[in-house]
Amino acid sequence: MGAVVAMLHAGLRCAFPARQVLSAEGGPAPERGARLWGEAGLDRTMTQAMTAAPEPAAAPEPAARCVRVATGGGPREIACSHPRLAEVDRERVWALPELLADVLRLPHVVGLAEIDGALHWVIDARRLPADNA
């Protein structure tokens, strides 16, 4: 897969291909920035079930950064915390199973990647819906 920007968005780990990231800033995204998980968010139990050592459920950290990504509908801001550049080998990336993709109904979530021993949702920003604001 190569270089990705790994981050926390609404308390969940995710990663974008680095080539889709246009810029990163020190302030949070505007209120109308993109929400990767929708209004309700992903079920934390589903995320925890995919990790070897479940973490206790905790409130997500407030977003301290803003990452601007290139999408099919133009540039979008995404609030996040702890963004960092990471290299991911192809053998540490798995496509999202079709059944899970149907259940999630989030076309921009395309897979899972192991980064530094933790699973991250792999996001294709080009698939973010235009009305996801």
What pLDDT was estimated at residue 55?
53
Alpha carbon 1 to its chain centroid, in Å, reads 15
What pLDDT was estimated at residue 6?
95
What would the 3-class secondary structure string for the chain be? CEEEEEEEECCEEEEEEHHHEEEEECCCCCCCCCCCCCCCCCCHHHHHHCCCCCCCCCCCCCCCEEEEECCCCCCEEEEEEEEEEEEECHHHEEECCHHHHHHHCCCCEEEEEEECCEEEEEECHHHCCCCCC
What pLDDT was estimated at residue 61?
63
Quickly tell me which residue has 């999630």 as its tokens.
104
Tens-digit pLDDT profile for residues 24-73: 888 777 777 788 887 544 554 444 444 444 454 455 566 788 899 999 88
Quickly tell me which residue has 């540490």 as its tokens.
92
Residues 6+ apart with CB under 8 A from 131: none
Tens-digit pLDDT profile for residues 91-104: 999 999 999 989 98
Tens-digit pLDDT profile for residues 12-25: 999 999 999 999 88
Structure tokens at 98: 């079709």
Structure tokens at 91: 């053998």
What pLDDT was estimated at residue 84?
93
| pTM for the structure as a whole | 0.78
